[in-house]
Amino acid sequence: MAIRPIVKWGDPVLHAPSAPVAVGDASLRQLFVDMVDTMYGAPGIGLAAPQIGVGLRVIVIDLSVGKDPSQLIQLYNPEFLSREGEQKEDEGCLSIPGHYGSPVRPEKVVVKGLDPQGVERTYTATELLARAFCHEIDHIDGQLFVDRLSPLKRDLLKRKLRKKARSGWEE
């Protein structure tokens, strides 16, 4: 088990677009293992490589938080094929502990990417899974849910986050 530290808001890797993965190799397979271990250890329902300090387009999602192995989604170079509708629910983020917001997300998404073996996978998702895909793909695009809040809520939360980042994220 290789649980890696989760980087917090303010770390430059979280605010920059991630590089596409060129090929699947042993280091990529290990990255997936580490990301899944870290996500379950947090615990969380999703994790993007930038959240553990790796600027690559890699995401993992499991709404069951490890209880149902068939729900684990592992993708590199994911992209949206379509987005439709609108939903707005509370979201949290492992890189922004203790803070929540309700960004507007699509109600339904279709996402395509490559699994750890390099096999192309396509997922059609609604509700929480659609939000999870949007949240994790935002991470690899250098965005966090905070960036999708209304200007007033975004500014208030960023002010709090800057203060936490300056104090080293200690309460």
Q: Which of 79, 91, 136, 170 is catalytic?
A: 136
Non-local CB neighbours of 126 within 8 Å, separated by 6+ positions = 107, 108
pLDDT, residue 171, reads 53
pLDDT, residue 166, reads 87
Kindly indicate whether the domain formed by 12-165 is annotated with CATH number 3.90.45.10: yes
pLDDT, residue 27, reads 87
Look at residues 95, 91, 96, 28 and name the one whose alpha carbon lies nearest to residue 57: 28
pLDDT, residue 24, reads 64
With vertex at residue 127, the alpha carbon angle to CA 115 and CA 108, rounded to the nearest 5 degrees, is 70
Take residue 11 and report the two structure tokens written for it: 């770390």
Largest CA-CA distance found in the chain, in angstroms, rounded = 45
Alpha-carbon gap, residue 87 to 105, rounded angstroms: 5
- Give per-residue pLDDT as tens, 27-52: 899 999 999 999 999 999 999 999 99
pLDDT, residue 165, reads 86
- Give per-residue pLDDT as tens, 82-109: 999 999 999 999 999 999 999 999 999 9
**Average pLDDT estimate for 65-78:** 96
pLDDT, residue 129, reads 98
**Model confidence at 20, in pLDDT bands (50, 70, 90)?**
very high
> Within a 13 Å sphere around the CA of 37, how many CA atoms are in the beta-carbon half?
11
Alpha-carbon gap, residue 125 to 111, rounded angstroms: 8
Are 95 and 7 in contact, with CB atoms under 8 Å apart? Answer: yes
Alpha-carbon gap, residue 110 to 80, rounded angstroms: 6
Domain ranges of the chain: 12-165
Look at residues 72, 77, 75, 102 and name the one whose alpha carbon lies nearest to residue 17: 77
Q: Is the pLDDT of residue 1 over 70?
A: no
**Average pLDDT estimate for 123-129:** 98
**Average pLDDT estimate for 117-129:** 96
Element (H, E) at 104: strand 104-105
Are 102 and 90 in contact, with CB atoms under 8 Å apart? Answer: yes
Is 136 catalytic? The answer is yes
Look at residues 121, 123, 17, 129 and name the one whose alpha carbon lies nearest to residue 62: 129
Q: Is the pLDDT of residue 161 over 60?
A: yes
**Amino acid identity, position 43:** P
**Model confidence at 111, in pLDDT bands (50, 70, 90)?**
very high
pLDDT, residue 96, reads 95
